[in-house]
């Protein structure tokens, strides 16, 4: 990719867009980078949480967050506020080359978790084995991935009072509305560089939602609150039980992002995992067979800082009842997920409880991906895990 880009830069001549389209092309599809202005209005709050401006305060925040008496809920609110703003959200839209049974008219909207950005879904390391985006294109699906607010190439507003769960839920809703009414594809058709594959795209017939970790907090709350906007969902690396996050934020092994290694251009309140924190949270299973040193290094190389307001506000996404969701949902759990299942996802799910949350779901399924930790795409058997997801779609007419 890097060499193609370099070559591309040399080849740009007036009226010729060869280099641009070459860079957009994937083995099984075409991808376009987008910077989408997303206007939102959401309920936010000023929380009673510590400030973080250096490494000592970063670790002190993690201990505070993991302390058994710390309140994660509305009682921790000093003042309720409203945030009304237009944020720049960086996204990537990919469409498959082939039309397999109309699957290209199904658009997946994938929301990544904390400590990563949208590259989580699109590994540049051995993409044929570890990129969910590549696998989706190969399976014939379109897919929108985006950097959540506060990470990657999206806007990075105040870590305490702005980057909060209800704002992010609203961003997901606006992106979904844009996908459903055609304005997303319209936007993509005009975005530079121009490419014939993105002209005259038919509005997606179906929009399905995929989440990972905190992206699954958001996705599960999204389908609960806005059921009619989703034609199906796959919730990966997330299950609401007493084990969820019981390992605590100290397991992230955080440092202050602005002075971390490497340092990130971030303001007060952004923290980032050190190497061992990434392994603690994201890698699991037998270290001889579940993942490689290269995969762990890649996982460390794409880490992203987290704004601590996200942790204070996450409670609002839990236990949202979803009677309006009338579509299929799969919960895909990595067998040895440390952060979600405290290292063992066997026998944790309760289909009766899931059914009570989504009483009109047309299908509720729980699947376990063997010998895998939280970051499902970054384990050796990732493609087989992706296949569980595509099989679920196929079985349910998606």
To the nearest 10°, report the CA torsion of 366, 367, 368, 372: -110
Within positions 20 to 79, which residues make up the interface with ligand NAG, using CB under 6 A? 74, 77, 79
Q: In whole angstroms, what separates CA 208 from the centre of its chain?
A: 14
**Contact region with ligand NAG (CB under 6 A), list: 3-11, 28-36, 338-346, 354-362:** 354-362
Minimum distance from CB of 98 to ligand NAG (Å)?
16
Return the residue of 119, 156, 374, 379 that touches ligand NAG, per CB under 6 A.
156
Q: In whole angstroms, what separates CA 372 from the centre of its chain?
A: 18
**Contact region with ligand NAG (CB under 6 A), list: 21-29, 139-147, 203-211, 350-358:** 350-358
The contacts of residue 179 (CB under 8 Å, 6+ apart) are 107, 109, 144, 185, 204, 207
Within positions 290 to 329, which residues make up the interface with ligand NAG, using CB under 6 A? none
Q: Is 286 in the site for ligand NAG (CB under 6 A)?
A: no
Within positions 84 to 143, which residues make up the interface with ligand NAG, using CB under 6 A? 128-129
Nearer to ligand NAG, 150 or 215 (CB): 150
Minimum distance from CB of 178 to ligand NAG (Å)?
5
The three-point CA angle 90-168-200 to 5° equals 45
Number of residues that bind ligand NAG (CB under 6 A): 30
The three-point CA angle 118-316-388 to 5° equals 45
The contacts of residue 118 (CB under 8 Å, 6+ apart) are 90, 91, 92, 110, 112, 145, 146, 147, 152
What values do phi and psi take at 168, rounded to 5? -70, -35
Minimum distance from CB of 114 to ligand NAG (Å)?
19
Minimum distance from CB of 225 to ligand NAG (Å)?
15
Return the residue of 282, 369, 374, 377 that touches ligand NAG, per CB under 6 A.
369
Minimum distance from CB of 248 to ligand NAG (Å)?
23
Return the residue of 18, 353, 391, 397 that touches ligand NAG, per CB under 6 A.
353
Minimum distance from CB of 14 to ligand NAG (Å)?
30
Q: How many CA atoms lie within 13 A of 133 on its CB side?
A: 30
Return the residue of 94, 114, 361, 398 that touches ligand NAG, per CB under 6 A.
361
What values do phi and psi take at 394, rounded to 5? -60, -45
Q: How many CA atoms lie within 13 A of 118 on its CB side?
A: 23
Beta bridge partners of 30: 25, 95
- Report the C-alpha gap between 259 and 257 in whole angstroms: 5
- Report the C-alpha gap between 192 and 184 in whole angstroms: 14
Q: Is 391 in the site for ligand NAG (CB under 6 A)?
A: no
Nearer to ligand NAG, 238 or 270 (CB): 270
Q: Is 189 in the site for ligand NAG (CB under 6 A)?
A: no
Return the residue of 153, 259, 371, 396 that touches ligand NAG, per CB under 6 A.
371
Minimum distance from CB of 123 to ligand NAG (Å)?
12
Q: Are 336 and 318 in contact (CB under 8 A)?
A: no
Return the residue of 3, 84, 101, 265 that touches ligand NAG, per CB under 6 A.
265
- Report the C-alpha gap between 228 and 269 in whole angstroms: 36
Binding site for ligand NAG (CB under 6 A): 74, 77, 79-80, 128-129, 156, 174, 177-178, 181, 183, 265, 350, 352-353, 355-356, 361, 363-364, 369-371, 380-381, 383-385, 388
């Amino acid at each position: 990719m890097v060499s193609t880009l370099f070559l591309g830069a040399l080849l740009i001549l007036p009226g010729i867009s060869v280099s641009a389209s070459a860079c957009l092309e994937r083995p099984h599809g075409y991808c376009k980078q987008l910077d989408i202005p997303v206007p939102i209005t959401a309920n936010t709050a000023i929380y009673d949480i510590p400030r973080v401006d250096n490494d000592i305060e970063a670790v002190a925040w993690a201990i505070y967050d993991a302390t058994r008496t710390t309140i994660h809920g509305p009682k921790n609110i000093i003042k309720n506020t409203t945030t009304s703003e237009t944020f720049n959200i960086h996204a990537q839209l990919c469409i498959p080359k082939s039309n397999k049974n109309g699957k290209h008219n199904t658009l997946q909207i994938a929301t990544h978790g904390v400590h990563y950005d949208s590259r989580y879904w699109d590994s540049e390391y051995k993409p044929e084995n570890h990129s969910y985006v590549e696998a989706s294109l190969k399976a014939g699906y379109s897919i929108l991935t985006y950097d959540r607010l506060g990470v990657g190439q999206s806007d990075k507003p105040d870590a305490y009072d702005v980057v909060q769960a209800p704002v992010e839920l609203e961003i997901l809703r606006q992106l979904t509305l844009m996908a459903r009414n055609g304005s997303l594809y319209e936007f993509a058709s005009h975005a530079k560089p121009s490419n014939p594959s993105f002209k005259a795209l038919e509005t997606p017939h179906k929009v399905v939602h995929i989440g990972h970790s905190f992206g699954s907090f958001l996705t599960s709350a999204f389908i609960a609150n806005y059921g009619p906007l989703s034609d199906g969902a796959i919730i990966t690396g997330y299950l609401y039980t007493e084990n969820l996050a019981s390992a605590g934020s100290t397991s992230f092994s955080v440092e202050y992002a602005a002075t971390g290694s490497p340092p990130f251009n971030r303001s007060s309140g952004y923290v980032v995992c050190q190497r061992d924190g990434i392994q603690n949270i994201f890698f699991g299973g037998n270290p001889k067979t579940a993942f490689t040193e290269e995969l762990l290094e890649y996982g460390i190389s794409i880490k992203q800082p987290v704004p601590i307001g996200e942790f204070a506000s996450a409670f609002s996404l839990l236990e949202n009842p979803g009677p309006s969701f009338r579509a299929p949902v799969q919960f895909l759990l990595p067998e040895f997920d440390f952060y979600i299942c405290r290292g063992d996802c066997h026998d944790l799910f309760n289909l009766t409880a899931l059914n009570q949350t989504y009483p009109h779901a047309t299908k509720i399924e729980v699947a376990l991906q063997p010998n895998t930790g939280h970051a499902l795409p970054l384990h050796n058997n990732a493609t087989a895990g992706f296949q569980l997801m595509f099989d679920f779609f196929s079985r349910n007419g998606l």
